[in-house]
Amino acid sequence: MLDRKVRISAVRYANTFPFLYGMEATGFGNEADITTDHPSDCAKKLINGSVDIGLVPIASLVQLPDYRIITDFCLGAYGKVKTVMLLANCPFESISTIYLDYRSMSSVTLVKILARNSWKKEFVWKTTTNGFDFLGIREKEAVVLIGDQCFELSPQFKHGIDLAQEWYNFTGLPFAFACWVANKEIDKNFLYSFNEALSFGVDNIVEVVAKYGQTGIIRGEELYSYLTENMDFRLDSDKRKAIDLFLRYMKAL
């Protein structure tokens, strides 16, 4: 076990509320130094060693030569997730250029995998940065958008495709967008307590919504529906198969 507190980077979106609630409600948060970041920053912190554990996009696993998936939980979905979207103001068939949300490598890689292997279609890919105007795209352009902003901005687009649903249609498997990963060996007792804390949050979604349901973009009943009907937090065997398949497709890109 490390002499200092274990440093943990969690995702700052609503899909992580159950994990954050579980860590706080069980007192586990007192055992660790916890920060919240965009998914890409969770990965960067784990890669550069500024944290010991991160809830990282699965596409980032290839940048961690000695990674360890350490919990029974993830950010996943069986079908429609609502927070990983391809959005446009023209029909899908007319899209020629896609802007890629800078905040998640997994979602960016997912759309490229689908384009090559499922849609059989080529696009011009363009990166974005902080401050990019997602609503300002032109005709024949689309954006990959992730996170809570999808609830806010999706209704302002004429067309939307849920990328988790597209993956499910293509593979018959759920998708795991991010999982809890360590870059070094972590004490077994600490990991047991960590898993128990995450489990407590996932098992108490009503309390999660009561705590966080008035604080963000996704609120109240909409937050409850999202966390119970769209998100799936268990890292089961199907999601592990999906991760392996995703990494194989990623390698072939």
| Res 188: pLDDT | 95
Write the CATH number of the domain with boundaries 6-76+175-238. Answer: 3.40.190.10
| Res 178: pLDDT | 95
| Res 206: pLDDT | 98
| DSSP code per residue over the chain | --SSPEEEEEE-SGGGHHHHHHHHHTSGGGGEEEEEE-HHHHHHHHHTTS-SEEEEEGGGGGG-TT-EEEEEEEEEESS--SSEEEEESS-GGG--EEEE-TT-HHHHHHHHHHIIIII----EEEE--TT--GGG--TTEEEEEESTHHHHHGGGSSEEEEHHHHHHHHHSS-EEEEEEEESS---HHHHHHHHHHHHHHHT-HHHHHHHHTTTSSS-HHHHHHIIIII-EEE--HHHHHHHHHHHHHHHH-
- How many Cβ atoms from other residues are within 10 Å of residue 33's Cβ? 13
| Res 1: pLDDT | 45
The domain limits of the chain are 6-76+175-238, 84-171
Whether the domain at 6-76+175-238 and the domain at 84-171 fall into the same CATH topology? yes
| Res 103: pLDDT | 86
| Res 118: pLDDT | 98
| Res 84: pLDDT | 97
Angle (nearest 5°) at CA 89 between 83 and 91: 95
Structural domain 84-171, CATH architecture: 3-Layer(aba) Sandwich (3.40)
Tell me how far apart the alpha carbons of residues 117 and 251 are, in angstroms, rounded to a whole number: 13
| Res 2: pLDDT | 53
How do the pLDDT tens digits run along the chain, 253 residues long? 456 799 999 999 999 999 999 999 999 999 999 999 998 899 999 999 999 999 999 999 999 988 999 999 999 999 999 999 999 999 999 999 999 998 888 999 999 999 999 999 999 999 999 899 999 999 999 999 999 999 999 999 999 999 999 999 999 999 999 999 998 999 999 999 999 999 999 999 999 999 999 989 999 999 999 999 999 999 999 999 999 999 999 999 9
| Res 109: pLDDT | 96
